[in-house]
Amino acid sequence: MRNRQSAVRWARAGAILFVLLLLYLVLRSIGFRDIVRALRTLQARAVWCAVALTFGSFLVQALRWQLLMPREDRPGILAVFPILLAGVFGNLITPGARVGGEPIRSYYMSRAFGGEKSRYLGTILVDKFGNAAVFFLLLLLSVLLVIAFVPLAGPVKALLLLGALLMPTVIVSGFLLRERIGLGSTQLRRLLTLIYNGRLMKSLRGRFPTYEHFEDYAIRKLDNVFQPIRRAAVNPKAIVTIVLLTLASWLLMYLAHWMLFNGMNAPLGLLQVIVIVNVSVFCGDVSVSPGGAGFMETVMIGLCAAFGVDHEKAAAVTLISRGIFYAFGLGLGGVFLIGLSCIYGRRADEEA
């Protein structure tokens, strides 16, 4: 088991290094001096507009999450925003599926406002799944536009379409599995029995006097997580809130990129920018590198070039847009995480 885990870690590290090396080779082939020269032509006003629009996108995300919380437990937006960005920091430094931010958000919500962490995790999952559902619809439309109008190789277009169709299928399958295995079902009890008797539970088994204590604990936690999902799924107001605010958040992000392209005098319309951002974000999400770093930038530069943007301008806009995003996600998010850890303690101090 240890050898297998070690091999997986080395393989992941190798994949990350390969992606970063690929980005370096792409930038080198364009020419670092040409990229710097293009950056100097970028209008400062466009950069500050992109910064403001990116900030607005994160603020709308915080508002969406806040409005999904029960009214009686809903904190102010100024309290939610730092915790949201601390979670973004966790997601950006987590390779692969990037789910490190959700435990961070649920932990600090519990410490700041009381209540069980699993209850807050439920609203986080509603927010995350709702955002994913809207994004994948936008992504599917973008992929169809790429297939129809962008001169890419046939296998590349086929992979994009397969990936865009596969991800929603996984999400829907997860919900169907949840409906098949209910909280009181025999299947769930069998699964919990296997977990309780498994090797991974050996060190934690002493906390539960009997299996019945463990089962009650696990079902209560699962119910806390899925209750907000069930409530949102049958609430038209919650669905409309998720859809409208998710669209608003992505629109602000698209406009931020569009402002940068305009500031660089690059010949791209808003629809083309939407396609570039959606496909690039998707490719970054399915990559193994933290935050999609390296692979996402490479894809964005390639798509910009396919739409007729000069390589050096494409690289300049890509680097500055990702720099702004990382400034919020890693910079400000890291500052907020440090501040929260100083006020409430680190996640390692208590049960997650």
Three-state SS for 8?
helix
Residue type, 25: L
The band of 333, judged by pLDDT with boundaries at 50, 70 and 90, is very high
Q: Answer whether 229's CB lies under 8 Å from 125's CB.
A: yes
pLDDT(221) > 70: no
pLDDT in tens, 102-134: 888 888 988 888 877 777 877 888 888 788 888
The predicted-structure confidence for 165-199, as pLDDT tens digits, reads as follows 665 665 555 554 444 545 455 655 565 566 556 66
State the alpha helices, DSSP H only, in 116-235.
117-149, 154-180, 186-197, 211-233
Q: How does DSSP classify residue 93?
A: T
Q: What is the pLDDT of residue 141?
A: 84
The contacts of residue 26 (CB under 8 Å, 6+ apart) are: 298, 301, 302, 315
CA gap 192, 181 in Å, rounded: 12
Q: Output the CA–CA distances (angstroms, integers) from residue 227 to 69, 84, 122, 168, 296, in the order listed.
A: 12, 21, 7, 22, 35
Q: Smallest Cα–Cα separation from 296: which of 41, 304, 28, 246?
A: 304
State how far the Cα of 66 lies from the Cα of 133, in Å rounded to an integer.
19
CA 348 to chain centre: 23
Token reading at 8: 């997986």
DSSP character string of 107-142: HHHHHHH-S-HHHHHHHHHHHHHHHHHHHHHHHHHH
Nearest to 352 by CA among 73, 182, 109: 109
Q: Determine the distance from the C-alpha atom of residue 307 to the mean position of all C-alpha atoms in its chain, rounded to a whole number.
A: 26
The total of other beta-carbon atoms located within 10 Å of residue 341's CB is 18
Is the pLDDT reported for residue 331 higher than 50? yes
Length of the chain: 352
CA distances 49 to 54, 262, 263, 326, Å, are 9, 11, 10, 16
- Say if residues 22 and 293 touch (Cβ distance below 8 Å): no
The DSSP call for residue 290 is G
142 CB-contact burial (10 Å; exposed 0-12 / middle 13-18 / buried 19+): buried
Q: Tell me, yes or no, if the pTM score tops 0.85.
A: no
Identity at 19, one-letter amino acid code:
V
Distances (CA, A) of 70 to 75, 119, 204, 212, 271: 10, 11, 32, 30, 36
Per-residue pLDDT tens digits for 39-55: 788 888 999 999 999 99
Residue 163: the pLDDT is: 66
How far, in Å, CA of 57 to CA of 328, rounded?
11
pLDDT (0 to 100) of residue 309:
84
